[in-house]
Amino acid sequence: MMPNGYEMCWLDYKKHCDVDKNELSKWFSYICLFDPTDEFQVVKEELAIFVTDFLGFRPRFFKVFPKQGRHVLIGKLSDLPVEVNLDEQLSEEGFVLKYVKKQDAEFVIITGISAAGVLYGTFEFINRVRVGEDLRKLNVVSNPKIKLRFLNHWDNLDGTIERGYAGKSIFFSNNKILLNQRTKDYTRLIASIGINSVVINNVNVRHAALKLIEPAYLKRLSQLAQLFQRYGIKLFLSVSFASPIHLGGLDTADPLDERVKKWWKEKVKQIYDYIPNFGGFLIKADSEFNPGPHMYGRTQADGANMLAEALEPFGGLVIWRAFVYNCQQDWRDYKIDRAKAAYDIFKPLDGQFADNVAIQIKYGPMDFQIREPVSPLFGGMEKTNQILELQITQEYTGQQIHLCYLGTMWKEILDFDTFSKGNNSFVKRIIDGTLYGRKNNGIAGVANIGDDPNWTSHDLAQANLWTFGKLAWDPDEDVKKIVEEWIKLTFGDDELVVRNISYMLLNSREVYESYTTPFGLGWMVNPGHHYGPNPEGYEYSHWGTYHRANWEAIGVDRTSRGTGFTLQYHEPWRSIYDDIHKCPEELLLFFHRVPYNFKMKNGKTLLQNIYDLHFEGVEKVQEFIKLWDELEGKIDAVRFSRVKKKLQLQLEHAIEWRDVINTYFYRRTGIKDEKGRKIYP
Amino acid sequence: MMPNGYEMCWLDYKKHCDVDKNELSKWFSYICLFDPTDEFQVVKEELAIFVTDFLGFRPRFFKVFPKQGRHVLIGKLSDLPVEVNLDEQLSEEGFVLKYVKKQDAEFVIITGISAAGVLYGTFEFINRVRVGEDLRKLNVVSNPKIKLRFLNHWDNLDGTIERGYAGKSIFFSNNKILLNQRTKDYTRLIASIGINSVVINNVNVRHAALKLIEPAYLKRLSQLAQLFQRYGIKLFLSVSFASPIHLGGLDTADPLDERVKKWWKEKVKQIYDYIPNFGGFLIKADSEFNPGPHMYGRTQADGANMLAEALEPFGGLVIWRAFVYNCQQDWRDYKIDRAKAAYDIFKPLDGQFADNVAIQIKYGPMDFQIREPVSPLFGGMEKTNQILELQITQEYTGQQIHLCYLGTMWKEILDFDTFSKGNNSFVKRIIDGTLYGRKNNGIAGVANIGDDPNWTSHDLAQANLWTFGKLAWDPDEDVKKIVEEWIKLTFGDDELVVRNISYMLLNSREVYESYTTPFGLGWMVNPGHHYGPNPEGYEYSHWGTYHRANWEAIGVDRTSRGTGFTLQYHEPWRSIYDDIHKCPEELLLFFHRVPYNFKMKNGKTLLQNIYDLHFEGVEKVQEFIKLWDELEGKIDAVRFSRVKKKLQLQLEHAIEWRDVINTYFYRRTGIKDEKGRKIYP
């Protein structure tokens, strides 16, 4: 049973733009499908759903090549009865959408080298039809630039989701694996945005999850993997580095111990017996109380390579997270800087990791704050496969109560120039493999979905999932274009709808940042659940995330004169970040300890800027509400009022943020807002 | 199966002082027990355990009156074959211990009016024997001064204990009621200190606990109640005010609704069918998300009296907690003062409560902080039964990691003069019923025990349970005497052992206070679990517990010029608390907003005093460790090292407290310690 109000996000084909359906129907009455090896079942299914929902009739599929009329023509490039001239090389997962006229017949061709490519082409084709593109002008060759396009689910087997804000897990309940209509819909949804790799369980592998790689679970996982495979997706699992102890009865998980190696080899073989197309492991080791090779005096490379050796014969990968740091720091120790940890630990290992190991690196050196500099590790490892880890789920960014579109942030990260090999050493060129010439690179997003009827709780948070897929496919894509396409597919192409939602989305990250922790400050949240303001919530904790505000200044000096974090960057960043007058102001408090009376570029003090941003941020949320209200009647009532409620709650909580943060600084300094606005004393 | 290292605290009769056992044995070879109605089974059992463990032989009991020799003579006053002249009136639960010589025979008589009285006398007699008192000088008449001597257990049916720091529940596991050897030992333990009323389940009644008053549970509860009864104890239960909804299928719990009244009457009758000596209900209503009469626009008296009416025919009581306040306060609302809530709500209802209702009032107006003024409600209600609620479990007072003996604090509370009827209107005279002439008064302690082998995790925390019982029996008793008796019964009477432990216990509260939150500040703990320093942990929360520290001052002005809380006290307290120069300094920050540079009586500023106390507090813990170390070899190794470990952890955490609090104030003010000690910047 699907929950009340169940939706398929951008795949709801009944929603569409202003198109001439009669005219369009002509293309779909006769769909030619060339499928000699019977690989296109899901393509047929998807087109059937589309045509039925969109045009109102069930399409038929033929293998005979027609001589006249308009037709959709589908098949692998090698199987097509017409020649398709390509302007560009097709890659394994790429696709072609192309209009071809042949004598009296017109064709829109969807093709590719692989079934997955054809499926991706089908989704893209459907999207273009729905937004009313002229099919006779179709001429697209599209290849994914990034090889591994991952979703990471932090789902626990009891059905809870760590950092999940949209209900319970769709994969697990009561320690059982779910396989139902929703699983299938999920697969369609993520295939439609080009995801090809999925980790279904939490990186913190505990309790029942330890046993996921045991036969009792593997059997059912193999069914899930088969479903995934039909949509071009590989199943990965998070596993515990201590599995040989938990499951194998060994007294060690030392990666250099022969018994441990043997256990993993046998275990991997067993997994592949059940799941021949198994993707591999995601590992959170030596991190936040998870076991790892450091426990045995071994390096991260020792640990990863041991697993890699076991997976290699089967083509499996080890995705090894770089989120390793001392999470038992003493706040009184001013020498340790958590921001430096990943680079300090992994940089010296560059070149030591096996070819089927990829290091998965969080975008920033801390932990998914609303603004961080890009991790210097991206510019630091030339001989190591790298995966950029992003968080689609809004842990520190408003927990799907606040509107916080992340595409703009991700785009900044992808476009960040590390200067590791001179100009244009962009992060996106590292993870697409072109900069260092490595093969197993990728991008991973921690999923923001759960079993809520609309998948993401906040309807507009669907845009984050959509955008993640689009940027994973092509990190050079324009975010505004991505957003507009999503709006049209999701809410229709009314001009005001597109304009207002687009404005809201594209500005929402800066708005959230302004009323929470601007200038790279971060962390002023309640410990544990990470929601809502708590200016000193982490100040005396063991997590290593301090701002050390006193009566005159705030922030940690991470320059060469301080913790030395800036030295992990290539020039010119090193010098730029090192200089309080050159440092980009949005990162000022990340890199510098700054007096409240520091004059910023706009001539105002740091403190006055903090006050201003907090007042302005709330005003911006009020503006969002006004813009949303303008859409009443142009959007279905259910979603209109659901988003409205979220925005109202956001406003309430933005006011809370404003007042707490302003009061906090006022109580510190005794300096009033120069405009005399209300700050609680 | 008892856990490893299982102990019976002060009832371990193998531990004793330096006594002549041969001489003592003569008294116990022939115990005369007059028990015509067979009520003294547990007295016999206790004496049998005692003589066996202490003297090494099994005693025999006779009903024949001997003509010569030394004997223990036991029976109700009315059944004794000798006349006992009393210097004082015996009350129902009182007892007599008296040496009588009759011709050639010598007797030590244990007697009372009731079986419970005789049992209490037996425990007291055993204690006196163990510490070597001269039996020929015995001449004791002892009546409990306080009628209701309650333990409140905050045990949940899943086995967890809210604010429990000594393991799991001994009453519940997996939603089942436990009845085993430990239950019996528990009953002995608390009867030995005079407890006569027990609430076994958490005041927050949720989940399975809602069903405790259903037949499925009542059947087993009746067995527990029978066990309790043999030891003079009545079983009470915490119940949800919304039970008619949860269990009765009604759509309301409105206390004035006839269906609700009828439901409760039938429910109470059902309970008494199972448990004829059932004590009654403890109710947390309209408090921290628990339902109550306010939900229906009714008063607390409406709610309590409705239940009282149902219980009255059976002699049952309603214990109604006064812990009612707005726990959804906006920190920006400076007018609300949580400290005023109980008085504001209950004082106007004085005289309206039924005779079998008692209002249970926490000792302070906030919530069990290490130092609070006594709740003004005690001086505010002359026509209402009152129960003083104390916390034996160390929620805010160190969670049985820190040594924090609470007897000294309780003594201050009991000795507090409310001046409600002129001089000597002590709290202890309110709850012993003499001041206002009310009948159903009492004292309640939230228990500090769990299923740890030593019951309280910290061995020295047993002293708190012991002291609670002793003060409940006689609030005029001297704390030093109470402590010394406990030490002797628990660790023996080595002079150094008694001296050092006594010193540690009697000073521990002030030490804990000094390195945490002195001067009545309170609350600077981590939210939720309430352990460890977090100076602004509650500063922007909804709990109404703020200090509003800024760059120049700290504290809430609760005077007549502020929230007006001081006006709830009688003179002279009203004037004393209202005046920053007269206010007892240990409560300065509870009542006043005070600049850091305020000169205190010792000539130092408030800030310097805060620094000093924090440094000195840590030094005192170091002194405790030194004193404890002196006892090595004089105390059994298991307990010695267990306490040692606790003290070492306490030291570590005291240092953490010192550094966090000092740094917090230094960062606020920029003012250094005048003695130049280390404060982290």
A446-481 pLDDT per residue, tens: 999 999 999 999 999 999 999 999 999 999 999 999
Whether the CB of B336 is below 8 Å from some CB of chain A: the reply is no
Report pLDDT digits (tens) over A310-325: 999 999 999 999 999 9
Cis, bond preceding B572 (omega within 30 deg of 0): yes
Strands B95-102 and B139-142: antiparallel
Distance CA B77, CA B114 (A): 8
In chain A, what residues touch B528 (CB-CB under 8 Å)?
Answer: 528
- DSSP conformation class of A270: H
| Residue to substitute from A526, A529, A531, A536, interface B, most B β-carbons within 10 A | A536
Task: Output the DSSP codes for A282-322.
Answer: EE--SBTTB--GGGGT--HHHHHHHHHHHHGGGT-EEEEE-
Nearest C-alpha neighbor of A473 from the set A46, A1, A118, A93: A93
Q: Which residues pair with A34 in a beta bridge?
A: A75
For residue B595, give how far its alpha carbon lies from the nearest alpha carbon of chain A (Å). Answer: 13
For A661, which residue in chain B has the nearest alpha carbon?
B540
Whether the CB of A41 is below 8 Å from some CB of chain B: the reply is no
As a whole number, mean pLDDT of residues A216-228 equals 98
Q: Which of B537, B667, B680 sits opposite A551 (nearest CB)?
A: B667
- DSSP conformation class of B176: E
Q: Do B551 and A681 touch (CB under 8 A)?
A: no
For A657, which residue in chain B has the nearest alpha carbon?
B540
For residue B660, give how far its alpha carbon lies from the nearest alpha carbon of chain A (Å). Answer: 7
Question: Which pLDDT belongs to residue B18?
Answer: 85
Distance CA A666, CA B551 (A): 9
The active-site residue, picked from B389, B395, B557, B673, is B395
Distance CA A584, CA A519 (A): 9
Whether the CB of A669 is below 8 Å from some CB of chain B: the reply is yes
Report pLDDT digits (tens) over A199-209: 999 999 999 99
Q: Do B534 and A535 touch (CB under 8 A)?
A: no
Domains in chain B (CATH in brackets) are: 9-142 (3.30.379.10), 148-477 (3.20.20.80), 481-556+593-681 (3.90.1330.10)
Whether the CB of A660 is below 8 Å from some CB of chain B: the reply is yes
Question: Which pLDDT belongs to residue A153?
Answer: 98
Question: Which pLDDT belongs to residue B122?
Answer: 98
Q: Note if B412 is an active site residue.
A: no
Which residues numbered 624-643 in A keep a CB inside 8 Å of some CB on B? none
Sheet holding A31-34, edge to edge: A61-62, A31-34, A68-76, A104-112, A95-102, A139-142
Residues 6+ apart with CB under 8 A from A605: A596, A597, A598, A599
Asked if pLDDT for residue A515 goes beyond 60, the answer is: yes
Residues 6+ apart with CB under 8 A from A471: A407, A410, A411, A414, A443, A477, A479, A482
Which helix (H) or strand (E) segment holds residue A360: the answer is strand A357-362
As a whole number, mean pLDDT of residues A42-58 equals 95
Report in angstroms the alpha-carbon separations of B518 from A163, B162, B397, B555. Answer: 38, 26, 12, 12
For residue A586, count CB atoms less than 10 angstroms from its CB and return exposed for 0-12, middle for 13-18, buried for 19 or more: middle
R_g of chain B computed on alpha carbons: 26
pLDDT-derived band of residue A64, with 50, 70 and 90 as boundaries? confident
Residues A9/A485, Cβ–Cβ less than 8 Å? no
The two three-digit tokens of residue B373, written as one number: 């003024």
Whether the CB of B537 is below 8 Å from some CB of chain A: the reply is yes
Mean pLDDT of chain B: 96
Count chain A–chain B contacts defined by CB atoms under 8 A.
59
In chain B, what residues touch A554 (CB-CB under 8 Å)?
Answer: none
Question: Which pLDDT belongs to residue B214?
Answer: 98
- Residue carrying structure tokens 């998807």: A46
Report pLDDT digits (tens) over A145-165: 999 999 999 999 999 999 999
The two three-digit tokens of residue B137, written as one number: 């000088």
Question: Which pLDDT belongs to residue A3?
Answer: 72
Residues 6+ apart with CB under 8 A from B38: none
Question: Which pLDDT belongs to residue B677?
Answer: 98
Distance CA A323, CA B209 (A): 43
The active-site residue, picked from B7, B312, B367, B510, is B367
Distance CA B381, CA B346 (A): 8
Q: Do B536 and A533 touch (CB under 8 A)?
A: no
Whether the CB of A335 is below 8 Å from some CB of chain B: the reply is no
Whether the CB of B555 is below 8 Å from some CB of chain A: the reply is no
Q: Do A668 and B670 touch (CB under 8 A)?
A: no
For residue A670, give how far its alpha carbon lies from the nearest alpha carbon of chain B (Å). Answer: 7
Report pLDDT digits (tens) over A579-631: 999 999 999 999 999 999 999 999 999 999 999 999 999 999 999 999 999 99
Taking the CB of residue A266, how many other CB atoms lie within 10 A of it?
Answer: 12
For residue A345, give how far its alpha carbon lies from the nearest alpha carbon of chain B (Å). Answer: 28
Q: Do B670 and A550 touch (CB under 8 A)?
A: yes
Q: Note if B367 is an active site residue.
A: yes
The two three-digit tokens of residue B131, written as one number: 């510490």
Return the percentage of chain A with pLDDT > 70, whole number: 100
pLDDT-derived band of residue A425, with 50, 70 and 90 as boundaries? very high
Nearest C-alpha neighbor of B501 from the set B482, B489, B487, B480: B487
Nearest C-alpha neighbor of A237 from the set A182, A125, A144, A157: A157
Asked if pLDDT for residue B268 goes beyond 70, the answer is: yes
Asked if pLDDT for residue A285 goes beyond 90, the answer is: yes
Residues B267/B213, Cβ–Cβ less than 8 Å? yes
Question: Which pLDDT belongs to residue A563?
Answer: 97
Q: Do A670 and B551 touch (CB under 8 A)?
A: yes
Which residues numbered 439-458 in A keep a CB inside 8 Å of some CB on B? none
The active-site residue, picked from B45, B288, B333, B632, is B288
Q: Which of B533, B670, B680 sits opposite A551 (nearest CB)?
A: B670
Report pLDDT digits (tens) over A133-148: 999 999 999 999 999 9
Q: Which of A536, A670, A680 sits opposite B535 (nearest CB)?
A: A536
Distance CA A609, CA A604 (A): 6
pLDDT-derived band of residue B1, with 50, 70 and 90 as boundaries? low
Return the percentage of chain A with pLDDT > 90, whole number: 95
Taking the CB of residue B385, how many other CB atoms lie within 10 A of it?
Answer: 28
For residue B523, give how far its alpha carbon lies from the nearest alpha carbon of chain A (Å). Answer: 14
Distance CA A212, CA A238 (A): 9
Mean pLDDT of chain A: 96
Which residues numbered 283-312 in A keep a CB inside 8 Å of some CB on B? none
For residue B168, give how far its alpha carbon lies from the nearest alpha carbon of chain A (Å). Answer: 21
Nearest C-alpha neighbor of A486 from the set A508, A504, A472, A465: A465
Question: Which pLDDT belongs to residue A4?
Answer: 76
Whether the CB of A336 is below 8 Å from some CB of chain B: the reply is no
Q: Do A332 and B659 touch (CB under 8 A)?
A: yes
Distance CA B592, CA B589 (A): 5
The maximal CA–CA distance of chain A, rounded, in angstroms, is: 83
Q: Do A540 and B550 touch (CB under 8 A)?
A: no
Whether the CB of B540 is below 8 Å from some CB of chain A: the reply is yes
In chain A, what residues touch B550 (CB-CB under 8 Å)?
Answer: 666-668, 670, 681
Q: Which residues pair with B75 in a beta bridge?
A: B34, B111
Question: Which pLDDT belongs to residue A1?
Answer: 57
Residues A338/A329, Cβ–Cβ less than 8 Å? yes
**Which one-letter amino acid corresponds to residue A210?**
L
Helices and strands: H and E segment counts in chain A: 18, 18
Total residues belonging to chain B = 681
| Three-state DSSP class for residue B301 | helix
Asked if pLDDT for residue B585 goes beyond 60, the answer is: yes
Residues B342/B377, Cβ–Cβ less than 8 Å? yes
**Cα angle vertex B455, ends B451, B461, to 5°?**
140
The two three-digit tokens of residue B498, written as one number: 């008694």
Distance CA A335, CA A325 (A): 14
Phi, psi of B669 (to 5 degrees): -110, -25
Report in angstroms the alpha-carbon separations of B135 from B73, B160, B483. Answer: 13, 45, 22
**Which one-letter amino acid corresponds to residue B542?**
H
Question: Which pLDDT belongs to residue B86?
Answer: 87
- DSSP conformation class of A177: E
For residue B162, count CB atoms less than 10 angstroms from its CB and return exposed for 0-12, middle for 13-18, buried for 19 or more: middle
pLDDT-derived band of residue B15, with 50, 70 and 90 as boundaries? confident
Asked if pLDDT for residue A41 goes beyond 80, the answer is: yes
Asked if pLDDT for residue B395 goes beyond 70, the answer is: yes
| Three-state DSSP class for residue A121 | helix
Active-site residue set of A: 288, 367, 395
In chain A, what residues touch B607 (CB-CB under 8 Å)?
Answer: none
Phi, psi of B341 (to 5 degrees): -60, -55
Distance CA B428, CA B431 (A): 5
Q: Do A540 and B552 touch (CB under 8 A)?
A: no
Asked if pLDDT for residue B16 goes beyond 90, the answer is: no
| Residue to substitute from B334, B529, B540, B557, interface A, most A β-carbons within 10 A | B540
Q: Do A550 and B681 touch (CB under 8 A)?
A: yes
Q: Do B670 and A332 touch (CB under 8 A)?
A: no
For B542, which residue in chain A has the nearest alpha carbon?
A656
Taking the CB of residue B154, how many other CB atoms lie within 10 A of it?
Answer: 22
As a whole number, mean pLDDT of residues A548-577 equals 98
Report pLDDT digits (tens) over B420-438: 999 999 999 999 999 999 9
Total residues belonging to chain A = 681
The maximal CA–CA distance of chain B, rounded, in angstroms, is: 83
Report pLDDT digits (tens) over A224-240: 999 999 999 999 999 99
Whether the CB of A549 is below 8 Å from some CB of chain B: the reply is yes
For B540, which residue in chain A has the nearest alpha carbon?
A660
Distance CA B313, CA A121 (A): 80
Nearest C-alpha neighbor of B428 from the set B117, B121, B147, B91: B147
Asked if pLDDT for residue A186 goes beyond 60, the answer is: yes
| Three-state DSSP class for residue B262 | helix
Residues B143/B94, Cβ–Cβ less than 8 Å? yes
- The phi-psi region of residue A544 (left if phi > 0; otherwise alpha if psi is between -120 and 50; otherwise beta) is left
Q: Which residues pair with B234 in a beta bridge?
A: B197
